[in-house]
Amino acid sequence: EVQLVESGGGLVQPGGSLRLSCVASGFTFSNYWMHWVRQAPGKGLVWVSRILPDGSGATYADSVKGQVTISRDNARNTLYLQLNSLRVEDTAVYYCVRDQRVWILDYWGQGTLVTVSS
Amino acid sequence: QSALTQPASVSGSPGQSITISCTGTNSDVGGYNYVSWYQQYPGKAPKLIIYEVSNRPSGVPDRFSGSKSGNTASLTISGLQAEDEADYYCNSFTSRHTGVFGGGTKLTVL
């Protein structure tokens, strides 16, 4: 069974940093593209970032470029998202998502909530 | 990258059909067949229901179908059921190798 379990969310002050993790199981993690998608409370889905199986080819939404970094450790079956210079508007549930082929987001984690507030 | 344009809400009675549109540009929806649709219940993670414009993953009822014409993709749900009441989002690959979602559509089953 495919499972994606995010962690690392929490309350952080504006300007702070956070690293989100996503542990994958039930499939060969190193074979798949992976994404992060976020959703602010009561709002829609927003695509954040994607990374290729070998850790290359990271792309980012304009709204987060320069502020976040996606990475992965295939030996640990883990996807990461480093969030820096956090702003109140970055408050959201962050989902870790597997990509079955090209932009087929077939498995989603349960999400981890990041709250940016003073 | 601007969000794809979806109607904020649609509604229909049980048994009826509804269609949700998703309008983008030549750089996303119109330029690629990498359009997908997701269903989301409140407090839950989204679920893939259509990929590559018109393909259904295993387990998704054939009441759900997708299509595309030019820069607009569409999701049609036929034989509407109460359990279809949810939020629906489209997503597309873009020419910049990024992704973009629509703003979401709330489906109400009357």
pLDDT in tens, A84-105: 999 999 999 999 999 998 899 9
Q: 3-class DSSP state for residue A75?
A: helix
Q: What is the mean pLDDT of residues B79-102?
A: 97
The distance of A47 to chain B (nearest Cα, Å) reads 6
A5 touches B at CB < 8 Å? no
Nearest-CA residue of chain B relative to A100?
Answer: B51
The distance of B60 to chain A (nearest Cα, Å) reads 12
Q: pLDDT digit string (tens) for A13-43?
A: 999 999 999 999 999 999 999 999 999 999 9
Q: Please, what's the largest Cα pairwise distance for chain B?
A: 41
**Contact (CB<8Å) A47/B91:** yes
CB A29 within 8 A of CB A80: no
Nearest Cβ partner for B98 among A59, A102, A111: A59
pLDDT at site B2: 83
End-to-end Cα separation, chain B, in angstroms = 35
Q: Which residues pair with A10 in a beta bridge?
A: A114
CB pairs under 8 A between A and B: 66
Q: Is residue B1 over pLDDT 80?
A: no
Confidence band of B107 (pLDDT split at 50, 70, 90): very high
Residue among B39, B101, B105 with most chain A CBs within 10 A, to mutate? B101
Give CA–CA dist B21/B6, Å, rounded.
6
Q: What is the mean pLDDT of residues B24-40?
A: 97
Q: Which residues pair with B47 in a beta bridge?
A: B39
Instruction: Write out the two tokens for A15.
Output: 């300007």
B24 touches A at CB < 8 Å? no
Q: What percent of chain B has pLDDT over 90?
A: 97
Q: How far is CA B1 from the centre of its chain?
A: 19
Alpha-carbon distance values, A23 to A29, A51, B22 (Å): 9, 15, 33
**Contact (CB<8Å) A59/B52:** no
Residue B20's closest CA among B99, B98, B78?
B78
pLDDT at site A85: 96
- For residue A104, the 8-state DSSP code is -
Work out whether strand B86-93 and strand B105-109 pair parallel, antiparallel, or are unpaired: antiparallel
Give CA–CA dist B21/B104, Å, rounded.
10
Q: What is the mean pLDDT of residues A55-69?
A: 95
Instruction: Write out the two tokens for A98.
Output: 């597997």
Instruction: Write out the two tokens for B81.
Output: 């059921």
A16 touches B at CB < 8 Å? no
